[in-house]
Chains A and B, each alone.
Chain A
Amino acid sequence: MLGLIVNASICASIMLASLGFIIAMRGSEDAGAQSKPTLYSFKLFWLLVGLLYFFEFVRIIAVYNGNFEIDKLLFELSIIPFSLMSAPLVYFVVYLVKGSKSASTIFSLAVCVFGLCFSALVFLTPLEPPTLTYWSSMYDIGDLFFPLYISVLYILPILLIIGLLVVIIKRPIPKRIKYRITLSLVAISLVLDFSLVDKIAQIPELQVASRIFVLIGVVFAFLAYFPPMSIKERLEPPPHYDYEYEEEIDEDRD
């Protein structure tokens, strides 16, 4: 049963780290009007990650107490943030590249509708009883729905992230901003990849390992916006000296 507690602690850490990240980013709201839509979609993504792992945390606590009805209900509820996570992500990338609110809204709404259909499908299909393991209770829905999930809700955002990374790397962007956006995208893809592995996995150790990687993803997101001093010093331009109108000294003149 110690495994359940460890698993629940990891889920709680992910949940708290994502929510803490959203709270820590409150200061960024003063940024320009152009970046507000991306900021809100970015926060919404992390809110959904927090919500997903909140359900997982409570679910494992329910399993620990032997309450399998709540476990099943929370598993089904956790599918909602899981399948909606791609919608703010699509908005984030499309708006960042195109700069059009309407195009990004249309794309993310389409993904959102697909996500809701996916959640409804999981709700309406009777689930097999879970397998109780040392680490967690495992539901097997992989064969039924995950090809559907992967085809739209996973492949599309991952392709968009790769595309955005290529765009960012090719452009002459200040190092500080390049670092921030690249590490954020790496963090997002880590979370997206390993939350999928988390849901598909039928091996409990793999599920726990994937949750650790999700936690690492959230830490990366933190580091992207709040880098340690050593990295910050490397990213900042050298201090500015006011030499503009001083007379140049010709060192070669003798």
Chain B
Amino acid sequence: MKIEIDVDFEAEVASFYQSLGITQGPGDVQYRLILLVLAKNGEERITRFSEIRRYTDEFADRGSIGSKMKTVFQLEGLVERVERGGYRITKKGMIAARFIQMTSEFYKKVKMTESLIERIP
């Protein structure tokens, strides 16, 4: 499965979920981007920390991303650290990434419905 990462779109989706009171997971743009970058490389390839930062620099500094990698992703077993600055997504992480993609689909559906309602005379 090919994953395209659009940073602006992910930020838009995250702010939508934040507006629903969901500030963690789907509503956290850092979480979304980190998971998607990891899932893009898949279970076979190692994802470099610098690669993750290419997407997240707009929203967070190096420290908070590093801390998130430790306190959320490694702690919950979504990634495993294979070398210094290198991570590999686990099966559990792939499930989380799929969930994040589903939240994007849901967001698109909601937006489509909203625009359809706006067009009803």
Interface centre among B113, B117, B118, B121 (most CB of A within 10 A): B121
Determine if A96 and B120 form an interchain contact, defined as CB atoms under 8 angstroms apart: yes
Interface centre among B109, B117, B119 (most CB of A within 10 A): B119
Please tell me which one of the listed residues B109, B113, B119 contacts residue A35 in the complex, with CB atoms under 8 A apart.
Answer: B119
Chain B, range 70-112, C-beta contacts under 8 Å to A: 109
6 closest A-B pairs by beta carbon, nearest first, are A39-B121, A34-B118, A38-B121, A171-B113, A35-B121, A34-B119
Known: A31-B121, A35-B119, A174-B117. 10 other contacts (CB 8 A): A32-B118, A34-B115, A34-B118, A34-B119, A37-B119, A38-B119, A95-B119, A171-B113, A171-B116, A177-B120
Chain A, range 127-180, C-beta contacts under 8 Å to B: 167, 171-174, 177, 180
Determine if A173 and B113 form an interchain contact, defined as CB atoms under 8 angstroms apart: yes
- B121 partner residues in chain A, CB cutoff 8 A: 25, 28, 31, 35, 38-39, 42
- A42 partner residues in chain B, CB cutoff 8 A: 121
What is the CB-to-nearest-CB distance from B20 to chain A, in angstroms, rounded to a whole number?
Answer: 14
- B113 partner residues in chain A, CB cutoff 8 A: 171-173
What is the CB-to-nearest-CB distance from A59 to chain B, in angstroms, rounded to a whole number?
Answer: 31
Taken together as a complex, chains A and B put the C-alpha atoms of A174 and B115 apart, in Å, by 13
Taken together as a complex, chains A and B put the C-alpha atoms of A76 and B109 apart, in Å, by 47
Chain A, range 191-233, C-beta contacts under 8 Å to B: none
| Number of A-B residue pairs at CB separation under 8 A | 38
A interface residues with partner B (beta carbon < 8 Å): 25, 28, 31-32, 34-35, 37-39, 42, 95-97, 99, 167, 171-174, 177, 180-181
- B118 partner residues in chain A, CB cutoff 8 A: 32, 34-35
* 22 pairs of residues in contact across A and B, judged by CB atoms under 8 Å: A32-B118, A34-B118, A34-B119, A35-B119, A35-B120, A37-B119, A38-B121, A42-B121, A96-B116, A96-B119, A96-B120, A97-B116, A99-B115, A171-B109, A171-B113, A171-B116, A172-B113, A173-B113, A173-B116, A173-B117, A180-B120, A181-B120
What is the CB-to-nearest-CB distance from B80 to chain A, in angstroms, rounded to a whole number?
Answer: 39
| Count class of interface residues, chain B | under 10
Taken together as a complex, chains A and B put the C-alpha atoms of A172 and B116 apart, in Å, by 11
What is the CB-to-nearest-CB distance from A141 to chain B, in angstroms, rounded to a whole number?
Answer: 34
Taken together as a complex, chains A and B put the C-alpha atoms of A172 and B111 apart, in Å, by 12
What is the CB-to-nearest-CB distance from B66 to chain A, in angstroms, rounded to a whole number?
Answer: 39
> In this complex, what residue of B is CB-closest to A171?
B113
- A32 partner residues in chain B, CB cutoff 8 A: 118
> In this complex, what residue of B is CB-closest to A174?
B117
Taken together as a complex, chains A and B put the C-alpha atoms of A31 and B121 apart, in Å, by 8
> In this complex, what residue of B is CB-closest to A168?
B116
Determine if A38 and B120 form an interchain contact, defined as CB atoms under 8 angstroms apart: yes
Chain B, range 1-16, C-beta contacts under 8 Å to A: none
What is the CB-to-nearest-CB distance from A226 to chain B, in angstroms, rounded to a whole number?
Answer: 13
Determine if A99 and B119 form an interchain contact, defined as CB atoms under 8 angstroms apart: yes
- A39 partner residues in chain B, CB cutoff 8 A: 121
Taken together as a complex, chains A and B put the C-alpha atoms of A156 and B113 apart, in Å, by 24
- A174 partner residues in chain B, CB cutoff 8 A: 117
Taken together as a complex, chains A and B put the C-alpha atoms of A28 and B120 apart, in Å, by 11
What is the CB-to-nearest-CB distance from B106 to chain A, in angstroms, rounded to a whole number?
Answer: 11
